[in-house]
Structure 1
Amino acid sequence: MIYIVVLALTLGAVVTGLAYWRGRIVVPEGHVGIITRRWGPKDDTFDRVALGDTKGVQARTLRPGQVAWLKPYLYSVDFVARTHVPRDMIGVVTAREGARKPARAKIARRVECDHFQDGRAFLRNGGEEGLQIATLEGDASYLINTALFDVRLVPATYVPPGTLGLVTAKLGKIRPAVRPFGRHVECDDFQDGQEFLDQGGEQGRQLAVLGGGASYDIHPDLFDVITVDNVAASTDDLTAAHLQEIAIPMGYTGVVVTLDGAEPAGETKIGPPVAGHGSFRMPWVFLENDGVRGVQQTTLRENSVLALNPWFVRVVLIPTRVIILEWKEKSADERRNFDARLDRITVTVQGYRIHVEVSQSVQILEKAAPVLVSKFGGTGRSALGGLVDDPLPIQRFVDNVLGDTVAAYFAGIAAAGTVEDFISGYHDTRTNLSDKVAQALKGWDVQALESNLGRFEAEDPALNERFKETADAQIRQGTLAAVTASLEDETRIAEARAHADVLGAALEFRAHVEALGAENVTMIKAIEAVAQMKWPQVIGGDITAMAQTLPPAVLHELLTRFREMRDEQAIGREEPRREITDVTFGRANENP
C-alpha cells in the first residue's frame, strides 16, 4: 500500500513538473509573444482580438525577456519579430480590431496606447478599427501585436535645402468655394494630423509651406506634399522652379503680386502695406488683416531669401541698379534687354536721312517698382506665382516713356533745323535731350543720370564726309585748347618758382645781415666776387699796379660788383627791406 502511494506521488510530481515546463514561456530578445486562448467564452465586443481573457487572439502580449507561465492545454504563444521603422521612414498603422468609426470618417482618431504597443489600452480607450491618424516615427523599434495592427513602411517627407514643399489636405472640412485655400491651423508642420482635424483644418491647398533642408513625419493618407523630387507628377503645371526659395539679387527689388486677397476698392491699383505677415511668408496673416489682391506696395529687398508659397504670390524682379539704355540696332541675343525695343533714331533733315545712336543711363528707385509693374504689367498669365524674371514691364516703360520722348525730340529738331544746324549743334542737342529725358522721368520716381549722343550716320556718303570733317575740327579745337591750357599752366609754375627763388635769396641775405652786420656781409660778398674772377699768375706792386694789370672788362666787372654790394648794404640798413618778410609771412609792418 505504501508502495502504491509513493508511486502515485512520484508520478504526480513528474506530471506536475512536465506541465510546469510545458507552460513556462520565455520570449526571445527582439521578439513579441502573441497569445491565443484555445477555448473558452467568446468576447461579446470584439470578434478578431479579445480584450479580456476570452477565446481567441489576445490583445495583450508578452515582451522580450519576460518569463511567464500559461496553462499549456489552454494557451499557445507565437513569437514574432518586433517592428522596426528605419531612419527616414514612418510607420502607417491600420487596426484590425476596434470600435467603428463615425459616419463619413475616413481615418481613426488617435488614442493613448504607447505607440500601439499596448493593445488592451487601445481597445479600452475607444481605438477605432481601420487606418490610424497616428504614425510611428523612424529610427525606432516597437513591440507591436501584429495580430491587432498592421504597419506599412513609407518614406518620410524630405524637402531639399533651398526649396519648399507645398501641401494639399486630402481630409478635413469642406472649404467654401469662394476661398482657394483651406483655413490655416497650427499642426506642427502638418505632422500632427489629429490637431489639424481638431482645429478645423480644411481640404485642399494649404497656405503654409514646408521649409527646405528637413524631413517631416507627414501622414501620406492625410496630406499630399509636392517637392522638387515629385513635382513632375503634379497636375497643376508646377515646375521645380516654382518650388525654389525666392532670392532677390543685388541691384534688384522684388515686386510682390498676391494671387488671393480682398477685392481692391475703387481706383486702388496697389495694395497698401499690411503688418505682421513676415514678408509674405505667413499669407494667412495677410488675408486675416484684409490684404488686397494684386500688386503690393511692400517690396522685397535685395539679398532677401524667402520661402514663399507660389500658389499665393508672384514676385517680379525690377532693377534698382544703374541701367544703360541704348538706341541702336539690336542683335537676336539682346531681345531680353531692357532696351530691346529701342532702335537707332532715324530723322530726315532737308531730305537727308540721318541715323543717330543715343544712350541714356537711368536708375529706378525702389518705391517706383510697384507702379511700373502695375502700369506696364508682364507676361504672367499663369495662375501660378513664384519668381518671375520678366523684362517686359521695364521694356514697355522704356519704350512708351523714354522711346517716345527721344523720338519726338529728334523729330522736332529735324523739322525745325538745317543739316548745318544738326551738325554744328551736337553739344546743345545732348544738353537739351538730357533735360527732356529728366522731365519725362520726373513723375515716375526714375532718375535720369546721363545722356550721350553716339555717332551720326547719314545714308548719303557726302554728308558723312561733312560729319567727319566737323568731328575732326572739334578734335583739333579740343587738342589746341588742351595744349594752350598746358602752356598756361607751365608759365604759371615757372613764375611761381622764380618768385620763390627771389624770396629765398632775400631771406638768406637778411639773415646774413642780422647775424654779421651789413659791412661784413659786403666784405664777404666782395671777396667771393674777387675769388671768382680770372687773375694773372703774378701781380706786383700796389693796388694801382693791380688795376693797371687787370683787363678792362674784368676791372669793370669788379667795380660794378662793388657798387652793387654797396647798394645792397644800404638797402639792408633801410626799413623797406622788411617788406619782403612782411609779404612772405603775412605779418603786419612793425617798427624796427
Structure 2
Amino acid sequence: LEYLGPMKWTAIEVAVPVIVLAILFWRSGMVRYIPNDRLGILEKLWSFRGSVSDGFIALNREAGYQPEVVRGGLHFFMPFQYSMHRANLVTIPQGQIGYVFARDGNPLPPTQTLACNTNADDFQDVRGFLEKGGQKGPQRKILREGTYAINLAQFIVLTAQSIYAVNLSSSEQNLFANMSSMISERGGFEPVVIHNAEDMIGIVTIHDGPALPDGEIIAPTVANDPNDPNFHNNFQDPEKFLNAGGYRGRQLQVLADGSYFLNRIFATVELVEKTIIDVGTVGVVVSYNGRHGADISGQAYRHGELVEIGARGVWSTPLLPGKYAFNTYAGNIITVPTTNFVLKWTKEQFGEHRLDENLSEVSLITKDAFEPVLPLSVVVHIDYMKAPLVVQRFGDIKRLVEQTLDPMVSAYFKNIAQTKTLIQLLQERSDIQRKSGEEMREKFNSYSLELQEVLIGTPRAADGQNSIEQILIQLRERQIAVEKVETYKLQERAATQERTLREKEA
C-alpha cells in the first residue's frame, strides 16, 4: 500500500463508497424493472401496520403479499420494504381451459365442493375478489383462451402445460400436481367435443350443489330455455345452473353434438351411443324419472299402468323409427318389432329377431301312444300402438314368447295329439293347421297380439327312436298293396272284356 500514490488513494476513496452505495441501492429494491411479458408480485417485508392478522393477502397495507401486481416498466419503492417475485403472465392456448385455485378467501361450507363465483369472478382483481366475498379453494369459473395478469400469490392456475404459482411448498406442489393429473385424466384441459358422425351423446354428472331428494336417481332438467335468466348453456355456467335449482348427481339433460367448455371438477361427462330405433320396430320407454303420472291405460286393463310422456313408468306412446338423444340412465327402451315376425318351434333354427332361439319342436303323445315331435311356425304381428301394453304386461317380447306363447302353443298341440292317432295326425295336417289358426287367434288377441298364420311341419320321431319310420314304411307298403289290388281288378276287368269281345267275334 505504501507504493500507492495520492491519486490512486483518491480513486479508491471514491470507488469504495460508490460500490457500497450501488450494492445498497440494488439490495434496497428502490428501483425495479419488469419486462412487459412478465409481472411482479409484491411481498411487503415490514409495515407500521404490522402483519396480516387474518388471511393470506394484506388488504390494508400490512406486511405480507400485496393484492396488486406490478406490470411492465420501471418502478420505484421505499428502500428495503418490498421483495419482488417476478412471474410469467398466465397464457391459455387456443381451445384449452385453465383452472383456478384461490389461496385466500372465505372458507367453503361443508356441503360445497367448489368456490362460488357469483360476485367474485375477476381473478385479475385480488382486492375486489376478497372484498366481494370470494372463497378459497378450487373455483367454479374456468379460464378460456387468452393472457391474464394474475397475482400468483393469491391464485394458482393449472393448465395443460404448467402450474402457475409462486413460493409453493413441497406439500402444495404434490397437491396441485395430483389435482392437475386428475383433471388431465378427465380430459379437462380441453373442451368436450361430440361429433355428429360418431352418433354419441354426453351424460353429465354434477359434483357440486344440493343433493337429490329421497327417491330420485336422476336430476331434473333446469333452465334449459335460452330466454331463462338462469340459462346455463349446457352446464357451461355453473353459477346459473345452481341458481336455477340444479342438483348434484347424474343429470337428465344430455349433451348433443357440439363443443362444450366445462369445468371438469364441477361436471364430468360420459359418452354413450345414441338410441336408434330401426324401421320396422318401435321403442317402448320405461322411464325411471319424472313425476308420478296418472294411469291412462283404462279400467279394463288390469296388468299395470301406462303413463303419458315425461312421467315415471311405461310411456303409453312408443318412439317411432329414428335417432334419439335418450339418457339411458334415466330409462330403458325396449324394442318391439312391428313387422310380421316368425316364431319357429324348431331346434337350431330361429327368426331374424332371435326371439325363438330357445324354442324347440313340440313333444306329442298320440292317441295310439306314439311320441312324435312336431315342428311348427307361427307368424305374429304387434300393432305399434299396442306395443306399450305388451311390454307393461310381459316385460319384453322374448319373455312373452318363452313364458307365455311357448307353453300355450305347446299345450294346444299336445291336446290335439291326444285325440288323434299318428296316422290321423299325418293325414289331417291341413285341417289341424286351419283349425288351430282359428282357435288360437282369439287367445293371441287377449295378449294384444295378432296371429297371422300357423304353419305345421311333418311330425317326426324324436332322436333315437324309429317307431314312426316303421309306421310310415307300413303305410307305404299298405298303399302299394292297395294300388296293386286296384291294378289287378282293372287287369281282370280288361281280360274279361277282351274275352267277351272275342266270343262275339267268333
What's the TM-score once normalised by structure 2's chain length?
0.68
CA contact (8 A) 2:68 2:126 kept: yes
**Who is 1:363 aligned against?**
381
SS of the equivalent of 2:472 reads: helix
Q: 1:301 and 2:341 equivalent? A: no
Residue 113 of structure 1, CA deviation: 6.2
Q: What is aligned with 1:141?
A: 147
Is 1:272 aligned to 2:307, yes or no? yes
- 1:196 equivalent in alignment to 2:241: yes
Q: 2:113 & 2:422 partners in 1: Cα distance?
A: 86
Q: CA deviation at 1:54?
A: 4.8
**Counterpart residue number, 1:82:** 89
| AA at the equivalent of 2:390 | L
Q: What's the RMSD between the two structures over aligned residues?
A: 4.0
Alignment of 1:276-295 (within 5 A): 286=310, 291=311, 293-295=312-314
Conserved in 1, the CA contact under 8 Å of 2:52 and 2:63? Answer: no
Distance change >3 Å, CA 353–CA 142, structure 1 → 2: same
C-alpha displacement at 1:146, in angstroms? 0.5
* Aligned pairs for 1:131-170 within 5 A: 131-137=138-144, 139-153=145-159, 154=183, 155-156=187-188, 158=192, 161-170=198-207
Aligned to 1:70: 76
Partner of 2:166: none
Aligned to 1:320: 338
Change (3 A) 1:310 1:418: closer
Alignment-derived partner of residue 537 in structure 1: none
Distance verdict in 2 for CA 1:87–1:346, change over 3 Å? farther
Question: Shift of residue 356 of structure 1?
Answer: 3.0
Q: Deviations over 1:506-541 (max 9, x none)?
A: xxxxxxxxxxxxxxxxxxxxxxxxxxxxxxxxxxxx
Q: Deviations over 1:377-414 (max 9, x none)?
A: 25xxxxxxxxxxx7333333431444444444x33xx5
Q: Secondary structure at the match of 2:405?
A: helix
Residue in structure 1 matched with residue 163 of structure 2 by the alignment: none
SS of residue paired to 1:127: coil
Native 8 Å contact 1:24 1:67 kept in 2: no
Contact kept in structure 2, 1:255 and 1:296, CA below 8 Å = yes
Q: CA deviation at 1:116?
A: 0.8
Structure 2: how far apart are the matches of 1:467 and 1:362? 35
SS of residue paired to 2:459: strand
Q: Does 1:425 align with 2:425?
A: no
Correspondence 1:75-474 to 2 at 5 A = 75-86=82-93, 89-100=96-107, 105-110=112-117, 115-137=122-144, 139-153=145-159, 154=183, 155-156=187-188, 158=192, 161-186=198-223, 187-211=232-256, 214-220=259-265, 222-223=266-267, 225=268, 227=270, 243-260=272-289, 261-262=291-292, 267=302, 269-274=304-309, 286=310, 291=311, 293-302=312-321, 304-330=322-348, 337-338=355-356, 340-378=358-396, 391-408=398-415, 410-411=416-417, 414-415=418-419, 417-419=420-422, 421-457=424-460, 459-465=467-473
Q: 1:133·1:219 contact (CA, 8 Å) conserved in 2?
A: no
Check the 8 A contact 1:247/1:306 in 2, yes or no: yes
Q: What is the CA deviation profile of residues 430-453 of structure 1, one whole-angstrom value per residue up to 9, with x for unaligned ones?
A: 322332333332334433333323
Distance 1:75 1:397, change over 3 A: same
Question: Which residue of 2 is the match for residue 239 of structure 1?
Answer: none
How far apart, CA to CA, are the structure 2 residues paired with 1:168 and 1:41? Answer: 51
Pair 1:374–1:144, CA change in 2 (3 A): same
Amino acid at match of 2:222: V
Q: What is the Cα deviation at residue 328 of structure 1?
A: 2.5
Task: Give 1:70 shift.
Answer: 1.8
Letter in structure 2 aligned against 1:199: A
Question: 2:207 is aligned with what amino acid?
Answer: K
Are the equivalent residues in 1 in contact too, given 2:204–2:270 (CA < 8 A)? no
Give the aligned length.
407
2:438 counterpart SS class: helix
Which whole-Å CA distance do the structure 1 matches of 2:220 and 2:456 have between them? 58
Unaligned segments of structure 2, at least 5 residues: 1-16, 160-182, 224-231, 462-466, 481-506
* Preserved contact between residue 31 and residue 82 of structure 1 (Cα < 8 Å): yes
CA distance change for structure 1 residues 212 and 468 in 2, over 3 Å: closer, same or farther? farther
Could you tell me whether the CA contact under 8 Å between 1:38 and 1:56 is conserved in 2? yes
For the pair shown, the structure with the greater C-alpha radius of gyration is 1
Instruction: State the AA in 1 paired with 2:127.
Output: R
Taking structure 1 as reference, are residues 424 and 178 closer, same or farther at Cα in structure 2, changes over 3 Å only?
closer
Write the distance in 2 (CA, Å) between the matches of 1:466 and 1:99: 100
Aligned-partner Cα distance in 2 for 1:100–1:270: 50
Change (3 A) 1:81 1:394: farther
- DSSP 3-state at the match of 1:348: coil
Offset at residue 269 of structure 1 (A): 1.2
1:30 and 2:33 are equivalent in the alignment: no
State the secondary structure of the residue aligned to 1:176.
coil
Q: Distance in 2 between matches of 1:444 and 1:103?
A: 55
Q: 1:444 to 1:48 in 2, by over 3 A?
A: closer
Q: Measure the CA separation in 2 of the matches of 1:198 and 1:84.
A: 30
> Cα distance, 1:80 vs. partner?
0.7
- One-letter identity of the residue aligned with 2:273: Q
What letter corresponds to residue 214 of structure 2 in structure 1?
Answer: A
Q: Which residue of 2 aligns with 1:58?
A: 66
Matched to 2:304, the amino acid is K
Cα distance, 1:181 vs structure 2: 3.7
Query: Residue 180 of structure 2 corresponds to which residue in structure 1?
Result: none
Q: Pick closer, same or farther for the CA change 1:435–1:76 going to 2, 3 Å.
A: same
After superposition, the Cα gap between the structure-2 partners of 1:193 and 1:219, relative to the gap in structure 1 and judged at 3 Å, is farther
- State the identity %: 24
Post-superposition Cα deviations, 1:57-105, rounded to whole Å, max 9, x if no partner, equal 3211233xx4343236254533211223356653332222234556765
Shift of residue 147, structure 1, vs aligned partner: 0.9
> 1:334 deviation in Å?
11
Structure-2 residue corresponding to 1:576: none
Matches within 5 A, 1:522-533: none
Partner secondary structure for residue 255 of structure 1: strand
Q: Is the 8 A contact 1:159 1:165 kept in 2?
A: no
